[in-house]
A and B are shown apart, each in its own frame.
Chain A
Amino acid sequence: MLIASALLVLLMLFAFAVVAGRRDWSHGIVYAGCFVASMALLSAGIEHLGHRDSAPSVVLPFGLPWLKAHFRIDNLSAFFMLVVNLSAAAASAFAVGYSEHLPERARVTPFYPLFLFGMNAVLVADDAFVFLVAWEFMSLASWLLVLSDHEKAENRKAGMVYLTMAAFGTFCLLPCFGLLAGPGGDYTFAAMRLKELGEVPGALVILLVVLGTGSKAGLVPLHAWLPLAHPAAPSHVSALMSGVMTKVALYGMVRVLFDLHGEVGWQWGAGIMVAGGITAVMGVLYAVMQDDMKRLLAYSTVENIGVVVIGLGLAIAFKADGERNLAALALVAALYHVLNHSIFKTLLFMGAGAVMSATGERSLGALGGLLKRMPWTGAAFLVGAAAISALPPLNGFVSEWLVLQALFKGPAMPHWAMKFGVPVVGAFLALAAALAATCFVRAYGIAFLGRPRSAAAARAVDVSFGMKGAMAVLAALCVFLGVVPVTVTNALSHVVEPLTGVSFAVSADLGWPWLSPVSSTRGSYSATVLVMVGLAMFGAAIVLVHRIGTRAIRAADAWDCGHAEDIPETQYTAQSFAQPLRRAFGATIFRARETVEMPEPGDDSPARHRVHMIDPVWTYLYEGIGKAVDALADLVNRLQYLTVRGYLLMMFGTLVLFLLVVAARQP
Chain B
Amino acid sequence: MLQQFSYDLAHLIGATVLMAGFGMLYQRRIFAVLNTFAFQAFALAAAAAWQAHVQHAPHLYATAAIALVFKALLVPFALHWLVERLGIHRTVETALSIGWTMIVGVALVALSILLVLPVTAKAAALTRESLALAMSVVLLGMLMMITRRNAVTQVVGFMALENGLILAAVSAKGMPLVVEISIAFSVLVAMTLFGIFFFRIRERFDTLDLHYLETYRGDRS
Binding site for B on A (CB under 8 A): 640-641, 643-645, 648-649, 652, 655-656, 659-660, 662-663, 666-667
Q: What chain B residues lie within 8 Å of A662 (beta carbons)?
A: 115, 119
Contact B118 A666, beta carbon cutoff 8 Å: yes
Number of A-B pairs, beta carbon distance below 8 Å: 41
B111 adjacent to A645 (CB under 8 Å): no
Known: A663-B111, A666-B118. A641 touches B220 (CB 8 A): yes
User: Across the interface, do A659 and B145 meet the contact criterion of CB distance under 8 Å?
Assistant: no
Task: Determine if B142 is an interface residue (Cβ-Cβ < 8 Å).
Answer: yes
Choose among A644, A645, A656 the residue that contacts B108 (Cβ–Cβ < 8 A).
A656
| 8 Å CB contact of B142 from A640, A648, A660, A666 | A648
Interface residues of B in 170-198 (CB under 8 A from A): none
Min CB–CB distance A630 → chain B (angstroms): 15
A230 to B143, CA, bound (A): 58
**CB interface residues, B 99-154, toward A, < 8 Å:** 108, 111-112, 114-115, 118-119, 139, 142-143, 145-146, 149
Give A643's nearest chain B residue, CB to CB: B214
On chain B, the residues within 8 Å of A663 by CB distance are 111, 114-115, 118
Chain A nearest CB: distance from B120 CB in Å? 11
The distance from the CB of B162 to the nearest CB of chain A, in whole angstroms, is 15
A648 & B111 in contact (Cβ 8 Å cutoff):
no
On chain A, the residues within 8 Å of B114 by CB distance are 663, 666
Contacts of B210 in A (CB 8 A): 643-645
Do B145 and A648 touch (CB < 8 A)? yes
Name the one of B111, B143, B220 contacting A652, with C-beta atoms under 8 angstroms.
B143
Complex Cα–Cα for A648 and B210 (A): 13
Which residue of the partner chain B has the closest CB to A651? B142
Chain A, residue nearest B117 (CB) = A666
Give the A-binding residues of B (Cβ under 8 A). 95, 108, 111-112, 114-115, 118-119, 139, 142-143, 145-146, 149, 210-211, 213-214, 217, 219-220
A58 and B145 alpha carbons, distance in the complex (Å): 60
5 A-B pairs (CB sep. < 8 Å): A649-B146, A652-B142, A652-B145, A655-B142, A667-B118
Closest residue of B by beta carbon distance from A647? B146
| 10 tightest A-B CB contacts, nearest first | A666-B118, A663-B115, A648-B146, A649-B146, A652-B142, A663-B114, A643-B214, A645-B146, A648-B145, A644-B210
Chain A residues contacting B213 (CB-CB under 8 Å) are 644
Residues of A near B108 (CB, < 8 A) are 656
Contacts of B214 in A (CB 8 A): 643-644
Most buried by B among A640, A645, A660, A667: A645
Interchain nearest-CB distance for B200 vs A (Å):
14
Distance between Cα atoms of A640 and B139 in the complex (Å):
25
Residue with the highest number of chain B CB atoms closer than 10 Å, among A640, A641, A648: A648
Residues of B within 8 A of A659 (CB): 111-112, 115
In the bound assembly, the distance between CA atoms of A660 and B118 in angstroms comes to 13
Q: How far is the CB of A644 from chain B (nearest CB, A)?
A: 5
Is A641 touching B217 in the complex (CB atoms < 8 A)? yes
Distance, CA A659 to CA B132, complexed state (A): 13
Inter-chain contacts of B139 with A (CB < 8 A) = 656
Residue of B nearest to A644 (CB): B210
* Min CB gap B123→A, angstroms: 15
| Additional A-B contact list (20), CB under 8 Å, known A652-B143, A666-B118 | A641-B217, A641-B220, A643-B210, A644-B213, A644-B214, A645-B95, A645-B145, A645-B210, A648-B142, A648-B146, A652-B142, A652-B145, A656-B111, A656-B139, A659-B111, A659-B112, A663-B114, A663-B115, A666-B114, A666-B119
Q: Which chain A residues lie closer than 8 Å to B220 at the CB level?
A: 641
B contact residues around A652 at 8 Å (CB): 142-143, 145-146
A660-B107 Cα distance, complex, nearest whole Å: 11
Question: Complex: how many Å from CA A592 to CA B145?
Answer: 62
A205 to B17, CA, bound (A): 54
A645 touching B149 by the CB < 8 A rule?
yes
User: In the docked arrangement, what's the CA distance between A648 and B143, Å?
Assistant: 9
In whole angstroms, what is the CA distance A483 to B71 when docked? 93
CB distance from A570 to the nearest CB of B (A): 59
Q: Which residues of B are found within 8 Å of A648, using beta-carbon distances?
A: 142, 145-146
Q: Which residue of A lies closest to B135 (CB)?
A: A659
The distance in angstroms between the C-alpha atoms of A648 and B146, with both chains bound, is: 6
The CA-CA distance from A659 to B109 in the complex, in Å, is: 12
The residues of B that contact A655 with a CB separation of less than 8 Å are 142
Which residues in B have their C-beta under 8 angstroms from that of A641?
217, 220
Of all chain B residues, which has the CB nearest A640? B219
Measured CB to CB, the closest approach of chain A to B184, in angstroms, equals 23
Residues of A within 8 A of B142 (CB): 648, 652, 655
Shortest CB-to-CB span from A17 to chain B, Å, is 44
Contacts of B112 in A (CB 8 A): 659
User: Which residues of chain A are within 8 angstroms of B118 by Cβ–Cβ distance?
Assistant: 663, 666-667
Chain B residue nearest to A650 in the complex (CB): B146
Q: Which residues of B contact A643 (CB under 8 A)?
A: 210-211, 214
Q: Most B CB atoms within 10 A — which of A641, A643, A644? A: A644
- Which chain A residue lies CB-closest to B158? A648
A655 to B219, CA, bound (A): 29
| Distance of A648 Cα from B147 Cα, bound (Å) | 10
Shortest C-beta distance, B119 to chain A (Å), equals: 7
Distance in angstroms between the alpha carbons of A655 and B145 in the assembled complex? 14
How many whole Å from B177's CB to the nearest CB in chain A? 28
B112 closest partner in A (C-beta) = A659
Report the minimum CB–CB distance from B70 to chain A (whole Å): 24
Set of chain A residues within 8 Å of B146, measured between Cβ atoms: 645, 648-649, 652
Output the least CB separation between A312 and chain B (Å). Answer: 50
In this complex, what residue of A is CB-closest to B145? Answer: A648
Give complex CA distance A667, B114 in Å.
12
- In angstroms, Cα B112 to Cα A63, docked, is 46
A640 contacts which chain B residues (CB < 8 A)?
Answer: 219
Q: A643-B210, A643-B214, A644-B214 are in contact. Are A660 and B119 (CB under 8 A)?
A: no
Shortest Cβ distance from A100 into chain B, in angstroms? 51
User: How far is it, in angstroms, between the C-alpha of A644 and the C-alpha of B142 when the chains are bound?
Assistant: 13
> How far apart sit A640 and B213, CA to CA, in the bound complex (Å)?
15
Complex Cα distance, B34 from A290, in Å, reads 78
Query: Bound state CA distance, A579 and B114, in angstroms?
Result: 75
A663 to B139, CA, bound (A): 15
Across the interface, which residues of A come within 8 angstroms of B219, CB to CB?
Answer: 640
* B149 nearest CB neighbor, chain A only: A645
Which single residue of chain B is at the shortest CB-CB distance from A642? Answer: B214
Q: What chain B residues lie within 8 Å of A660 (beta carbons)?
A: 111
CB distance from A647 to the nearest CB of B (A): 9
Q: How far is the CB of A642 from chain B (nearest CB, A)?
A: 9
In whole angstroms, how far apart are the Cα atoms of A60 and B88 in the complex?
69
Shortest distance between the CB of A179 and any CB in chain B (Å): 32
